[in-house]
Amino acid sequence: MIRLSLPRTGLACAAALAAALSFGPGAQAFDLSQMSEEERAAFGAEVRAYLLENPEVILEAVNKLEQQQAAAEAARDDALVAENLNALHNDGFSYVGGNPDGDITLVEFMDYRCGYCRRAAPEVEKLLAADGNIRLIIKEFPILGEASVLASRFAIATKLVAGDEAYKNMHDALISMGGAPSEATLRRLAEGLDLDADAILARMSDPEISRQLQETRALAQQMAISGTPTFVLDQELLRGFLPADQMEIMIAEIRDARG
């Protein structure tokens, strides 16, 4: 929430109104430095009176500024996706599921200990079930402490030991697991999935896992991604949780735009 405090001095009020007026077409900046003290005082008094009678001017200016900032952030995000599209789609190690030949690619940066990632998981599955033409890429991005890192290392170790299908099953188990992971709980998860728990636990220290996590973290930093879940839908960066129905609308718009 933005809280505004109207300035009391005539000069500051004049600057506030000048900022508001500058959003209009053809507006010119006020040069208060060219005014005398008496002119500034008179102008400030007029501005203050105007603002008190028309406080919506300040709100209009703030709304316009927020719109400009949102547009600038969207343009920046578009550029970040374009610059890093190959790393997002073809890093050579991230899990690729859904329809690998789908016309829409959905990339998710996730953390197993993230509550919003847990909320997003069934929404992603719902989306994939409803639309058989989506390619899903999962980026292991543990940012919530050692428990998150432990879970990600175990998931990647599962992929290295037993392949993609085993990884996806482990991913689904970890994202829905209650409580913090430990060697005992991870062993039980692996055994419950008929996997070789000893082999997976032994592989967790593999330098390849560290390399993958470091590369994903570096990619996230380059794209100014600091939270989970973060999605890249086609070429649009989506920061935060998004339900399946909203993603479906966006996907339909992307396909319509392609013709």
Domain borders along the chain are: 10-81, 85-258
Q: Which residues contact 105 (CB under 8 A, 6 or more apart)?
A: 88, 89, 134, 135, 136, 137, 232, 234
State mean pLDDT over 21-37: 60
Alpha-carbon span 6 to 57, nearest angstrom: 12
Q: Taking the mean position of all CA atoms in its chain, how far away is CA 44?
A: 43
User: What pLDDT shows up at residue 23?
Assistant: 45
pLDDT of residue 36 exceeding 90, the answer is no
Higher pLDDT among residues 23 and 134, named by residue: 134
pLDDT band at 30 (very low <50, low <70, confident <90, very high): low
Alpha-carbon span 172 to 177, nearest angstrom: 9
Closest listed residue to residue 32, CA positions, set 48, 51, 12: 12
* Fold assignment, 85-258: Glutaredoxin (3.40.30)
Instruction: Write out pLDDT tens, residues 172-201.
Output: 999 999 888 999 999 999 999 999 999 999
- Beta-bridged to residue 232, according to DSSP, are 107, 237
User: What pLDDT shows up at residue 133?
Assistant: 97
| Helix segments in the chain, DSSP class H | 10-21, 37-53, 56-83, 85-89, 115-130, 146-162, 164-175, 183-192, 197-203, 207-222, 244-258
User: What pLDDT shows up at residue 44?
Assistant: 80
- Phi, psi dihedral angles at 35 (to 5 degrees): -90, 155
Q: Judging by beta carbons within 10 Å of its beta carbon (0-12, 13-18, 19+), is residue 245 exposed, middle or buried?
A: exposed
User: What pLDDT shows up at residue 123?
Assistant: 97
Collapsing DSSP to helix, strand or coil, 215 comes out as helix
User: What pLDDT shows up at residue 65?
Assistant: 74
User: What pLDDT shows up at residue 230?
Assistant: 97
Alpha-carbon span 17 to 10, nearest angstrom: 11
Q: What is the mean pLDDT of the chain?
A: 87
Q: Taking the mean position of all CA atoms in its chain, how far away is CA 214?
A: 19
Instruction: Write out pLDDT tens, residues 119-142.
Output: 999 999 999 999 999 999 999 999
Collapsing DSSP to helix, strand or coil, 30 comes out as coil
Instruction: Write out pLDDT tens, residues 41-56.
Output: 888 888 888 878 888 8
pLDDT of residue 21 exceeding 50, the answer is no
